[in-house]
Amino acid sequence: MKNYLDEAVESISESVRFDSSLTKHTSKMPFGKGAYDCLEHFLTLAQRLGFQTRNYDNYVGEVLFGNGTEEFAILCHLDIVPAGNGWTKDPFGGAVEDGKIWGRGTTDDKGPAICCLYALKALKDEGFVPSKTIKLIVGCNEESGWACIEHYREAAHMPEVGFSPDADFPVIYAEKGILQVRLHFPAEHPPFLFLEGGSAPNMVCDYCEATPRSLSARAARQSGLELAGKKLVSRGKGAHASTPEKGVNAILPILEYFRAKSEAANRAIECLFEDVYGLKKLRDETGRLTLSPNVIKFRKGQLLIIADIRYPATMKAEAVYEKLNRFGVLYETIHHQPPLFLDKEGGLVQTLLSVYRECTGKDAQPVAIGGGTYARALKCGAAFGPEMAGDPPVVHQADEFISIERVELLLKCYKTAIERLTK
């Protein structure tokens, strides 16, 4: 696979230069120009490597290899969360420095998608003939709604079995349910004129600001806030919403500043940060529930807060709704994905586990995560890499990168896995 490493690194760097976060759509570009350009880049690359491709109305594309009656899916995504704040590298520069490729999407999920493409290329060059039709499916709306997958189901046929290179090694057998809700906290006669923060529902808020009706510099300093003219500024640290403990939420210090003078701020803190109704006590073998309030806006006498909830994989959403109902505030569900739960001893999980052990020399067991991947779009799907235990957290954070060493490992792992699962 070393023959393909340099090309893969260059292609990842090229892909990162497209800001493929969700932007204003057009009839031709359903998720904005950046996503459109990134998809075109990927499919053009695949064609240059000798593969047949299909583009389904710029929602999603696929690369085809083999012509078996049975199908096998490799599900990736090319869209990204917004860059956010705190970068020391250009998030869309694709710089290759210090043995790493830097930029938003390098790990989540452009890097792994391109590694899967070059793994197919290596197999093709070796003369491998899969017994199944392999579909490398690349969506453009994974981070903000899955409309790409919905469109693919309408326009094409989704395989039943496959993997998604969009999580962790050694192999993921379970993914928590994902529930994103918008809560309305009434804020009559608020002590603020403006309050807003957060870039995306699935990304820990790293920046929040507010304009108070009366400004106390002393109280601001005590709350750890910055003063910017008449505004209060709170800076946090971004992280994936499934692991909020790896970030620092910038919303809380702003709410704390107004807590004594605003029942809305007080109730939001009690419900979402202090967890007075015990949402985070829900747990099972796949872990505890996580609760991350990531987007906040003050509009028309209400504090509107979008909270990202990842609930245990063996539980039903009704258990979460029962707790939310106790908040006593209006809320609506804006996104829901039921959990994924596979048999640890099943063929797909065990095959991917054996590939990991073979390629790394490490013993490990299947794991559960709070993140959500395209694997749950399949009847039998598992997430497989690219991250490993002990990696520094980079997904949805500033200075995201993938090491060239990891790219080399991914090429080996994905080539082996694809060959073994489709021979």
Mean pLDDT (the chain) is 96
pLDDT value, residue 216: 86
Report residue 136: phi and psi, to 5°.
Answer: -90, 105
Q: Provide the pLDDT confidence category of residue 305 given band limits of 50, 70 and 90.
A: very high
Q: Provide the pLDDT confidence category of residue 3 given band limits of 50, 70 and 90.
A: confident
Q: Which of residues 1 and 92 earns the better pLDDT score? A: 92
The domains of the chain are located at: 2-176+340-422, 177-337
CA atoms of 81 and 142, how far apart (whole Å):
9
**Pair type for strands 71-77 and 133-139:** parallel
What confidence tens digit (pLDDT) does each residue in 208-260 have?
999 999 998 888 888 889 999 999 999 999 999 999 999 999 999 999 999 99
Longest CA–CA separation in the chain, Å:
72
Q: Provide the pLDDT confidence category of residue 22 given band limits of 50, 70 and 90.
A: very high
Alpha carbon distances (Å) from 242 to 66, 71, 152: 36, 31, 26
Residues 141, 143, 147, 148, CA torsion sign: positive
Find where tokens 């869209």 sit: 79
Q: Is the pLDDT of residue 1 over 80?
A: no
Find where tokens 């496959």 sit: 162
pLDDT value, residue 218: 87
Burial class (CB in 10 A: 0-12, 13-18, 19+), 89: middle
What confidence tens digit (pLDDT) does each residue in 173-214 have?
999 999 999 999 999 999 999 999 999 999 999 999 999 999
Q: Provide the pLDDT confidence category of residue 377 given band limits of 50, 70 and 90.
A: very high
Ordered DSSP codes for 100-131: EEESTTTTTTHHHHHHHHHHHHHHHHTT---S
pLDDT value, residue 354: 98
pLDDT value, residue 359: 97
pLDDT value, residue 222: 85
Instruction: Please give the average per-residue pLDDT across 390-402, as a whole number.
Output: 95
Q: Is the pLDDT of residue 411 over 90?
A: yes
Q: Provide the pLDDT confidence category of residue 415 given band limits of 50, 70 and 90.
A: very high
Which CATH number is associated with domain 2-176+340-422? Answer: 3.40.630.10
Q: Looking at the annotation, which residues are catalytic?
A: 79, 142
What is the per-residue burial (b if ≥16 Cβ within 10 Å, else e) of 330-345? ebeeebebbbbbbeee
pLDDT value, residue 221: 87
Q: Is the pLDDT of residue 348 over 80?
A: yes
The domain made up of 177-337 is a member of CATH 3.40.718.10: no
CA atoms of 265 and 257, how far apart (whole Å):
9
Full-model pTM = 0.88
Beta strands in 348-419 (DSSP E): 367-369, 380-383, 386-387, 401-403
Q: Provide the pLDDT confidence category of residue 74 given band limits of 50, 70 and 90.
A: very high
pLDDT value, residue 371: 87
What radius of gyration, in Å, describes the C-alpha atoms of the chain?
A: 22
Q: Is the pLDDT of residue 107 over 80?
A: yes
pLDDT value, residue 323: 97
Instruction: Please give the average per-residue pLDDT across 75-84, as a whole number.
Output: 96
Least Cα distance to 355 among 55, 26, 39, 119 occurs for: 119
Instruction: Please give the average per-residue pLDDT across 321-339, as a whole number.
Output: 96
